[in-house]
Structure 1
Amino acid sequence: MKPKRNDSEVYFTISSFATQIASGKKNWLDDLSLIELMRALSEWKFSARRDQFHPDNDWTTWLILGGRGAGKTRAGAEWIRRAVANGARRLALVGETYEDAREVMIDGQSGLLHIGDAPSRPSYEPSRHRLSWPNGAEAHIFSADDPDGLRGHQFEAAWADELCKWRYPEEAWSNLQLGLRLGQRPQQVVTTTPRPIKLLRQLMDAETTHLSRATTRDNKAELADAFLTEIIRTYEGTALGRQEIDGEIIEDHGGALWSRAMIERARVKDTPPLSRIIVAVDPPVSTGPDADECGIIVAGIAGEGRAATAFILKDASVGGLSPSGWAARVVEIAYSYAADRVVAEVNQGGDLVEEVLRLHDPNLPFRAVRATRGKTVRAEPVAALYEQGRVKHAGAFPDLEDQLTSFTGLGGEASPDRLDALVWAVTDLLLGPAPSAPAIRYL
C-alpha cells in the first residue's frame, strides 16, 4: 500500500503530474494513488488547451480572442484563481454590466465560484460588488457602463470580459489601466469575441500584449453536439459565423451603406438636452425561438431644422418573445425614457401591432408607419445623414452596428430588424414632418 500524503503533498503531486504528462512521461502514472489520479484529472493544468493556459513570457495584457463557447471565460477565471494563489490580494473584475459580471465571471458554470477545490473558493457579497477569498484576497466587480466607478481603486491584477461589447470602451479601459498599479508586475487578462473596434487593435499591436486565439470548434469536448452542429450549419461561412464561431475580426462589408469609421465618428459620450424622444419598433413577423428579433431603438433629437441632430440612445431589441412579450418590452422602454411617441412598422401586423401595444397601455402615444419602398431605398437617406454628422451614437451598440456595417441591400441577407427600427427612428426625427402639436411625455 502506498503511503498516505497530506493535502499539500497531493497538490504538489498533481502539479508535477501535469508537467510530466505535458513532457510525455506518462509512466509517472504508476506513482499515483487512485485519489491522486481522480484529482489530477480535474486539475486545470491537465485539462487546459494550450491557448487557455497562461503564457510564461513577459507581458502586461493577455488578450484571449475566441468564438462563442470557445472556453474564454474558464481561461480568464483560472488565471484569476492562479493570481490569487500566487499572492495577489487586490483584483478587479470588469464586465459589460454588473449583471454580466455576476452571471458570467462569478456565478457562471466556468465562473470563479465554481472552479478549483471548494475550500479555496471565494465568497460573493452582492451588496458590495466584492469577492473575498479565504487567504484574504479581494476582487471588486465593476461595470464598463460606469467607467467612473473604477476611479480611486488600485489593483495588482484584473480580468476584463467582453471588451468589444463595452459601451464606453476607451474611458473604462483608461480608468482600469490607471488603477492597475500595485505589486511588482501588474497584469490583466482580457477575454472577448473580437470586433473591429479601435481599442482592440491598439491592444493587439502593443508589444506588452500576449495574444491567444480559439474557435468554438476548439472547445467541442465541452459543448453539446447538437449546439455545435446547429450553429455551424446555420452560420458557417457567413460574416457573423466567422466572428462568433471562428473569432475573426470582420472588417467592413464591401458595398455596405455604413462603415465602421462612419460609426466611430458618430460616437459620443454625452448627449445635449433632447426636445423629443421616440421608441421605434420593427415587429417580428413570426413567433417562437426561431422568429426574427423585434427591433427596438430609442432615439432623441436636439436642435432644429438643418442643425438638428438625432441621438441613438439605446438598442433594446429582443428575440424569442411572443407578441405580448415584445409589446410589454416596448411599453417598458417607452416609460423608462419618458418617450413622446412609439413609432412602429405595420406592414406585416397591420392594426394588430397597435392593438397588442395598447393592451399594455391604452394611452400609449403611437404612430403607425408603413413601408412603401424597399429597405435599401429607405436606408440610404439615413446613411447619408450619418455622413453629414447628423446622427450620433450615445455609446456603443455592437449588435446594431454589426447590422449597419454588413447591410448591402442585396438579396439573401437576413432581416436587419435593428437596422429597420433605427431607420424608422431617424426618419421620424429628421426626415419626417415636424410634429403638429407639442407631445405629451409620460410622468
Structure 2
Amino acid sequence: MGGRGAGKTRAGAEWVRQLAADGVTPIALVGETITEAISVMVEGPSGIMAVTHPWDRPLLRDHMLYWDNGVEAQILGANDPERFRGPQFAAAWCDEIGKWPHAEAAWDMLQFGLRLGAQPRQLATTTPRPTKLIKRLLAEPTTVVTRVTTELNRRHLATSFLTSVVARYRNSVLGRQELDGELIEDLPGALWTRDMFRPAAGGEQGRIVVAVDPPATSHASSDGCGIVVAARTDGGAVVLADLTLRPAAPLDWATRAVRAFHDFGADCIVAEANQGGDMVRTVIASVDADVPVRLVHATRGKWVRAEPVAALYAQGRVTHAPGLTALEDEMCAFGVDGRADGRSPDRLDAAVWAITELMLREAPRVRGL
C-alpha cells in the first residue's frame, strides 16, 4: 500500500516481469476495468512494457500478453467478476483494489482460479481506502504488507506536483491516505460511513434529476461545480453518476449539466441559486433553452441540509452505481464545519440537492378551497 506516485505500479510491473522471466504462467492482470488495466498496468509509463527491455517485451493481442518463452498473461476487469469463471492462473497482479467496484466478489472469484503451479501467488498494489476487502486482507495472517509514501519517491516526481498537490494536502486526512498510504477509518461522528454505500440493484427508475452546485468563481483555485445525476426507485433513490467539474467556468459546467440531462433522459436540472441567482438559469439556457431548470436556495447550513439525506442512506434507501469513489470519499470526510478535508464538498452538495429533490421535497399543500 502506498501514496500517489509512490511507485506501486512500477513494483507490480517489475514483479510480473520477473515472474515471466522465471517461466511462471499463466498470470492474471486485474484492474478496475480491462481498459484501465491495459492503459496503466501494461502500457502506462510504469507498466509492464516500460520496465521490460525491448527485446523481451511481450506481445499484446486483444486482452492477452504473450512472451517469447511461452508465458501468457490474461487481462481482466474487476467490474465484471463473472469473467473470472473458467480461467486458471499461477499468479495474479491486482492493481488499485481500493477502488474496485465489486471488490469482494472479484477478489473471491479470482481465488478460485489461482490453482496452478507449485506456489500460486498474488500481489495487490493500491492506495489504501477503508473498504471491506482491504480491511479483510489486512486482518488475514497470510497477508504480507509493504507500505511506501509519496515522499520516498519524490526524485521521480514532477516538481509542480510536489509544490502544489503534496504541499497542499500534507498532514490533512486526505493527504495521510493519498500521500502517506495510511488507512484512514471513518471519522468519528461523521454523517456517512463506508458501510452505508450500497450497490445499485437495478430495476425500474422513475424521475431522474441532474443536480448542480455552481461555484462562485471559476479560477483554477476555486471550488468545483458539483454535478450529480440521481433517479427515483421503488425503494428510494439511486445515484447514477458524479460528473463534478474543476475548475468550472460557467459555460463549461452548464454544457456538462445539459449533456447529462440528455444522456440520462432526465426530467429537469436542479441548481442551487445562492451563488448566482437567475444567472444560473441564464447560463444553462444559453446552452439549451428547452431544458427545464428548478432553482433551489440554501437557507440552512450544509450539515443541517445533509442530515436528512444521510438518514436515508442509513435506512438503506439510497444506493450507488459503480464508479462513485470520489463522491463517497467526500461524504466520509464531511465534517460539522461544512467542509470535507478542508475543501468545499461540491460533489456532496450536488448529491444532497438531488436526493432532496427526489425524496424529501414537500409536495404542494392545498391551503383552502
Same structural fold, with TM-score higher than 0.5 when normalized by the shorter chain: yes
Instruction: Please list, as runs of the form range in 1=range in 2, the aligned pairs for 1:221-240 lying within 5 A after superposition.
Output: 221-240=155-174
SS for the counterpart of 1:173 is helix
SS for the counterpart of 1:228 is helix
- Verify: 1:172 aligned to 2:101, yes or no: no
- Verify: 1:85 aligned to 2:21, yes or no: yes
Q: 2:201 aligns with which of 270, 278, 285?
A: 270
Q: CA deviation at 1:435?
A: 9.4
Change in CA separation of 1:152 and 1:290 when aligned onto 2, cut-off 3 Å: farther
Does the 8 Å contact 1:275/1:301 carry over to 2? yes
Does the 8 Å contact 2:130/2:184 carry over to 1? yes
Instruction: Please list, as runs of the form range in 1=range in 2, the aligned pairs for 1:149-160 lying within 5 A after superposition.
Output: 149-160=83-94
Does the 8 Å contact 2:301/2:338 carry over to 1? no
In the other structure, the counterpart of 1:14 is none
Does the 8 Å contact 1:271/1:394 carry over to 2? no
Does the 8 Å contact 2:220/2:247 carry over to 1? yes
Q: 2:246 and 2:104 mapped to 1: Cα distance?
A: 29
Change in CA separation of 1:129 and 1:330 when aligned onto 2, cut-off 3 Å: farther
Q: CA deviation at 1:247?
A: 0.5
Q: 1:142 aligns with which of 49, 72, 76?
A: 76
Q: CA deviation at 1:229?
A: 3.1
Change in CA separation of 1:329 and 1:116 when aligned onto 2, cut-off 3 Å: same
Q: 1:340 aligns with which of 251, 267, 280?
A: 267
Change in CA separation of 1:88 and 1:428 when aligned onto 2, cut-off 3 Å: same
- Verify: 1:102 aligned to 2:41, yes or no: no
Instruction: Please list, as runs of the form range in 1=range in 2, the aligned pairs for 1:279-358 lying within 5 A after superposition.
Output: 279-303=210-234, 308-358=235-285
Does the 8 Å contact 1:196/1:250 carry over to 2? yes
Q: 2:45 and 2:211 mapped to 1: Cα distance?
A: 36
Q: 2:364 and 2:261 mapped to 1: Cα distance?
A: 18
Does the 8 Å contact 1:277/1:300 carry over to 2? yes
Runs (4+) off by over 6 Å: none
SS for the counterpart of 2:289 is coil
Q: CA deviation at 1:385?
A: 1.7
SS for the counterpart of 2:227 is strand
Does the 8 Å contact 1:293/1:417 carry over to 2? yes
Give the TM-score of the pair, scaled to structure 1. Answer: 0.77
Does the 8 Å contact 1:77/1:111 carry over to 2? yes
Does the 8 Å contact 2:23/2:70 carry over to 1? no
Does the 8 Å contact 1:293/1:317 carry over to 2? yes
Q: Which has the larger radius of gyration?
A: 1
Change in CA separation of 1:99 and 1:287 when aligned onto 2, cut-off 3 Å: farther
- Verify: 1:196 aligned to 2:130, yes or no: yes
Change in CA separation of 1:140 and 1:354 when aligned onto 2, cut-off 3 Å: farther
Q: 1:131 and 1:355 mapped to 2: Cα distance?
A: 52
Instruction: Please list, as runs of the form range in 1=range in 2, the aligned pairs for 1:371-382 lying within 5 A after superposition.
Output: 371-382=298-309
Q: CA deviation at 1:389?
A: 2.5
In the other structure, the counterpart of 1:37 is none
Does the 8 Å contact 2:232/2:358 carry over to 1? yes
- Verify: 1:129 aligned to 2:63, yes or no: yes
Q: CA deviation at 1:311?
A: 1.4
Once structures 1 and 2 are overlaid, which stretch shifts more, 219-228 or 192-201? 219-228
Which letter does structure 2 place at the counterpart of 1:347?
Answer: N
Which letter does structure 1 place at the counterpart of 2:265?
Answer: A
Q: 2:23 and 2:46 mapped to 1: Cα distance?
A: 22
Q: CA deviation at 1:151?
A: 2.4
Q: CA deviation at 1:223?
A: 1.3
Question: What RMSD in Å do the two structures reach over aligned CA positions?
Answer: 2.1
Q: 1:320 and 1:434 mapped to 2: Cα distance?
A: 35
Instruction: Please list, as runs of the form range in 1=range in 2, the aligned pairs for 1:244-263 lying within 5 A after superposition.
Output: 244-261=178-195, 263=196
Q: 1:316 and 1:176 mapped to 2: Cα distance?
A: 31
Q: 2:333 aligns with which of 382, 406, 423?
A: 406
Instruction: Provide structure 1 residue ranges, at least 5 long, that are not aligned to the other structure.
Output: 1-64, 437-443
Q: 1:360 and 1:435 mapped to 2: Cα distance?
A: 30
Deviations 1:235-273 (A, max 9, x none): 111100100110111112123222233x1xx41352221
Q: CA deviation at 1:349?
A: 2.7
Higher helix residue share? 1
Give the TM-score of the pair, scaled to structure 2. Answer: 0.91
Q: CA deviation at 1:172?
A: 1.6
Does the 8 Å contact 1:113/1:123 carry over to 2? no
Which letter does structure 1 place at the counterpart of 2:74?
Answer: H
Instruction: Provide structure 2 residue ranges, at least 5 long, that are not aligned to the other structure.
Output: none
Q: Provide the identity percentage.
A: 50
Q: 2:183 and 2:317 mapped to 1: Cα distance?
A: 28
SS for the counterpart of 1:214 is coil
In the other structure, the counterpart of 1:38 is none
Q: CA deviation at 1:144?
A: 1.9
In the other structure, the counterpart of 1:114 is 50
Instruction: Please list, as runs of the form range in 1=range in 2, the aligned pairs for 1:69-80 lying within 5 A after superposition.
Output: 69-80=5-16
Deviations 1:304-347 (A, max 9, x none): xxxx4111222222323433333332233333322222212122
